[in-house]
Structure 1
Amino acid sequence: MLKGALVLYYFFALDQPLWAQDDVTAAAITPQDCSLDCIRQGGPGCEYCRITRADVRKALGFNSLQAFGSCIPWPCFKLLGEEDPKICQHYVQAPNDVKVEVVNELNPKSDAIVVSWKPSYYGIAFLRGFQVSLQALGGSSVACQLFLFHRNLSLPASHAEMVYKSDPFPGLPLGSQYAVTVMALPVPEEWERFYRSKIFSTRSCAEKNGLEQCKKDWYPKHIEVQQEGTAITVTFNLAPPNLGIRSYFSLCYANGKKKYTDITPNSSKNKTHHSYQLNDLQEGTNYTCEIAANEVDAVRKTFSVQVMHIQNGGSSTRSVTPSLALMIPLCLAVVAIIVVLLFALIRRRTRLQITNLDIKPDLIKQHKESGTQEEVTSLQRNRLTPPRLLICYSSTDGPAHVKAVMQLGAFIQQHMATQVCLDLWNSLSVAEEGSMAWHCRQIRESDFILVICSQGLNHRPQPPQGGDDGEEVDRELVFGSNTFSSNAAVQLIGEEVGRAKTRGQDLSKYMAAIFEYSKETDIPTELRLVSHYMLPRDLQLLFSHLHGVALHRPGCYLKVNHISEEGFTELPAGAALQWAIYEARMAMTAKRHHYAEGGD
């Protein structure tokens, strides 16, 4: 009991007026005002009720809640279980789809949020209510809201699609991080899956009020750089007068050296723009500069300054004798004639050699003229998190194949900006949920699914029979732990692909791949509709698929460093992947020879 009380140590919020919500949908259920007597008796209009601090004080008979730290543990037992203790002794799964929604808040310095969620259908018939707590990360401020159903209510499983909402949590400072926790009631002892948490941030001042109203978030948007001789002139827009920003600073750095400049504009001359000089910069050097308001934690605007070489205008003239003036053009003419003759001779020999080799010079010329160039690109910055990739495979091809899959996952996660989900790395979660349940959840939550196809996956062997203590059975027990769940997951993926194809939906979520020691016929029929790759040859294509980056454009192509077929082995993870693929190829070759010679 004490352990449960410590885990559920939350705080109840004081009674506060509710904010009007204009965006409540028909499917959302919002809290009601009702008494504890109505909840206990199961009267009408008490389906989903908010419990205030006054209700708790009345139920416990205390004038204050200091004995429980402004909160009570196990609210179901204290508020509903006195008459019938069995009503609070059932297991209820944690809620799903916890979301945080910003609602209107008149104070320009704070936000208000509403939390929504869906109940789990596991134990929903015994669900008695919810408790929602909000805590600032790195701080001690906590708010708590309690909602209860009446004691006679029993929800069906179909009610798990209904959306429940909390009351607003107002007065949250802008630019702060919070953790919101939604807990399903009741919470029996020694039960851990009763809550769901989500971390979120309130809006910044600029997001809520606009950049021109925020002193801390303001930064110059318009910057112009001009070079006149050795002086660099920078012009930028000033902050609005209402922000009270009187001074600025500029910082330029290159080759390990920094140049700091204080800027104090004269608002009487120009209230919108100001120009200042950057002096003593080295010629032929590219500087990276920052400009910002001279305020604590002010946002800095970055721009570049390229200092050109200044050429001296004067040049000394030399007197040239008439004989020398005549000899110079003559020598130049002789040299030009010799160069033309040598070029013609070399060109004739080249044509003869090309003719002997039966190569068409027009094609070579066309290839040279249309030669592509390398181009540097960057990933999309609007994605907050890297793409989530689930890798499915079969372990029936032995430990060498499993090792190759694991090294592939490590390479993708380290050098392809992708979060990889692999059962080999989540053995505790797989053991806790069950292999099939874990795969189903990952298929649902992942952005992309990559199926590593091999001979064992395509053949789908039968489970080993009992009573055989031979080496083969031991091998199946060691390497076949995920075989049947993987095959079932592949069948599930195939069904999803078929349905998506029938409905004309996008199939880019699903991919198939084979290592160089496998064959394309190892790809199951249901996965022939999706993109499939040969690894490691097609690592760049896989990168393009995961990040939506075009590898080819008219007149140029994009080259990703250390992901090309030749360059990936320069990385430690790439070398490990190459060696794992080599070992798997040798193991697969030995296995084929063994079966070809009539081995069991």
Structure 2
Amino acid sequence: MWTAAIVLYQVLAFGQPLWAQDGAITPQKCSLDCVREGGPECEYCSISRADVEKALGFNSIKAFGGCIPWPCFELLGKEDPQICQHYVQAPNDVKIEFVHEPNPKSDTIVVSWKPSYYGIAFLRGFQVSLQALGGSSVACQLLLFHRNHSLSASHAQMVYKSDPFPGLSLGSQYAVTVMALPVPEEWAKFYQSKIFSTRSCAEKNSLEQCRKDWYPKFIAVKQDGTTITVTFNLAPPDLGITSYFSLCHANGEKKYTEITPKSSINKTHHSYELHDLHEGTNYTCQIAANEVDAVRKTFSVQVLPTQKADTVPLSVTASLALMFPLCLAVLILLAVFLAALTTKLQIKKLYLKPDIIKQHHEDDTQENVASLPRNGLDPPRLLICYSSYDGPAHVKAVMKLGAFIQQHMATQVFLDLWDSLSVAEEGAMAWYCRQIRESDFVLVICSWGLNHRPCPPEPEVDDDDVEGDRQMGFGSNCSNAVVQLIGEEVGRAKARGQDLSKYMAGIFEYSEETDIPTELRLVSHYKLTNDLTLLFSHLHGVALHRPGGYLKINHISDEGFSKLPAGAALQSAISAGEMAMRAKQHHWEEGSE
């Protein structure tokens, strides 16, 4: 009896670290040697990157944060080769949980999932990777069961968790992938991906703690003659906001006012004046902190006519009394004339066509608001194709363009770098063929390396840089075959008289129109970022101009594009791509001499 109690106590003691308060199984901190030995204290282990590098004998890929195709035979197959020869299907029910993060500028998540029924008895562990959309940085965790551990079908209902992923940027999109291990010899559906967004600053820290999300809640307007005084509450000192701005507009006229309060006078409220406003006019005004993408508070200002009290001398009053009968007679004659004229105009108005009246009103409108058509609930699907022969700087510019389009142009973007596992599973050409078939639009980013084949010799670089490019996927790209495939589709559509709007060609500012291949000369082409508005019009089928109005979207206009973080990142990437392209062209010219 005592022996049974001791055994039960030991089992509970070993199993206790695995279970969290919510019933999910969390990883333990243990070494790879402990997993190989199969100790009961290493049932579900988080393997460090140093252990993987030590076992494999080389440095893991830095650009992928230690995420590599799981080398089952190298890590565990030497003791028992049968461990790595079984099929395991992808996990399911992948969820994202936000946990406490003391840094107000970042988020921390934990990923949870359930294993599949298929192959669960041979399941050796999981690999969880996290990638920022629009970037190449990847974080990875390797989670293994001990060698003698065998899961039964009942474990498919248990929830497994990863270690925390800290330091995620607020208001950003990420893709998390959970892979079942071992990876089968014949690749199938062995992983599950999920795209999510981190919390905004206001969601995590409350509105009062965010610079760009803060806006004044108290606004009071007072008129003194033609001067309008506006009083509003200042931001908390912790935010460090020292400058504000106000923008008022009416009848096509805009008035901008910079506001710099003095904290020595009043630390909670500030008053400023609006000058040169027209009497009898209603203005719509906005006030906000002078920060990028700051939330604006809208309020109305009604400028009332001022009444001027004039003193009239007594002699003038007597003269007016004598002139009153004469003025009254003139007014009567004028009233009769106006009544006759009004009657004549009303008769003419009966013969005006309604469309002429509507056109007249439209001509008087200086600005019109154009809305997007709501034909469907799903955003358009856009596939972006490119060439990697122009180097990592060009590929980075393509990724930043895809991130900007997905975040600020209401479009779902598909890029091979964001779906590397599916590309590896299906094969590059099969993946591209499926995406071309399923996408609503296809945008080919044309460059020197795309149109000029074969690729010219690359400049001499260090071995580490070459290895890094190859690891990032810059060395292998089937852009030539994809462009030929798209060219054939365009040619067939043109021969049949079909619509060619599905296909587009684009070039960055450092490329020329001559870089567009002959196969794509029939489709619409855009120069980015100058033609972002035209690209938006193409993707959503909206007209940029119409009688009496035009479409203007602030965050893709010339003046508002660079104010967005994603727009600034894209602009920086294009500048870096231009510098790299010039350096390569200089090298090619020297090599040809």
Q: TM-score per shorter chain, which class?
A: 0.3 to 0.5
- TM-score, normalised relative to structure 2: 0.46
Which of 1 and 2 has greater Rg? 1
